[in-house]
Structure 1
Amino acid sequence: MESKYDSSRKIFKSVWFWIAVAGVVVLCGVFYFIGSHTAKVDLNGKKASLEELVEEIEARKVLLGELKNKTESWTKEVADIQKELQEAEKEKNEALTIIENKSRTEEEMKELQKQVEKSNKELSSLTEEIKAKKAELAAAEGKIIEKKQEPKILPAGFFMVGKDLPAGRYKVVAQSGFGNFFVNSGSKVNIILGDSEIGVNEYVFYADEGDEIESTLSAKFIPME
């Protein structure tokens, strides 16, 4: 009796069996080739092949690299702008400080100017007071004080106070020699002025507006306090 094993061996040895197997293998290869070249996937709502998908991925990688480079560049630009803003803020603060210091200095200068003006007024007042006290002291001691003004020298002749000589208190001194010296025809002053036994070397008098002076010699008129 023939066993199942013997029967199977006969089947495998059959030519048609191997033909069938070869056909199946060929069909599988064909289907795999067709499938690998016709496989499609959805890409943005469109059907794309594997090659197109790979190209799209590579393109997006390039775009991603460009975006990365731009991002780094923008980050550097932002950092530079922030640095410039910090420098500008620093310069602004320094300028504000200078302006504030200048304003404070100007206020201090104004205050000092006021103090100087006040001190000048006080000094002027004190100077006038000192002059008055000196004049009082000189009067009490019988002394006379010359003013810090240029003396007036008049030759021999007739002169009018207020025209030829300003009104004021004067000490008259002969320039040389001696001679007569009259004021208002001798009613106010009547002396012999100069180096002589009967005259005086100097004489103090008040020359009032309109007085007439007559001198027979050149004389120096020294303003007095």
Structure 2
Amino acid sequence: MSQAFHLFKIGDSSMQMMAFIKTKKFLYVFTGAVFLLSLFLASSFYTSHIKAQTSAMEDSYLYLRDQVFALENTLEEKSGILESLEEDIETKQGELEKTEENLAGKEAEQAGLEKEYSEKTAQLQEEYDETVAMIERRDEVQEELESLEERLEAETKVLKASLEKELAGLEKEVKTKQAEADKLAAEIEAKNEELENVTTVIREKKEEPVSLSAGMFVVGHDIEPGRYLVEPVGRGSNFVTYDANGKLSVNIILSNRPDHGVSEYVLFLGDQYIIDSNTPATFTPIE
């Protein structure tokens, strides 16, 4: 910019000089100077020679004026080019500033991307190391698993043979125990039948049954003490007995009606027991 400004100042001075050269005043001055010079040289040169010199000087002046005009046009063109260049420089300067700003942003973005890349790379490296370790561990586990499978297969064969042998012995023992259990079951069944016969069969005595009407009776006075089978006469009703101390002994309903009391009842009548019956009943002595 400073060089361009310096060139512009030089060009401005040249333009002022050229503008002065193109004026009539410069022409008069130049002509006067030439004339005075001619007069000064008249003493030593001939008039024809002075004219020739004057003509040559005029030609030089015209040539110089044409050169000045050409230089002026060239200077104007260069001035336009210079102005265009300055505008371009300002534009490029603005673009450069924007580019620098964008570059700064891109550098910051690149730094962030580099940081992210570094973190991702470290994470991937860690995951890779873990994967490699897992693969190595998998191979070790696979070998241990195969060893355990072989050991399990061998122990299974041994255990199976032992269990089969033990099972055969247990089956034999079970058969023996089953035979013993069947024998014991037969014996238990026989004993149960015998017990049932003993506990359920009521053996009647040879004595005649005693019939009592409804009412209250004293054992030992109205009927002999002993074990009896009591049956209602007719529809039946409440039947109660008390021991010698007046404590309730039996409290039932003797009845021949279905789902209403019982049709017969075995009881023991001690001496001085009280019989309170609301129904006539038959007392059959039993053993």
Q: How does the TM-score come out when normalised to structure 1? A: 0.36
> Which has the larger strand fraction?
1
- Relative contact order higher in (CA < 8 Å, ≥ 6 apart): 1
> Which has the larger helix fraction?
2
Structure with higher Rg: it is 2
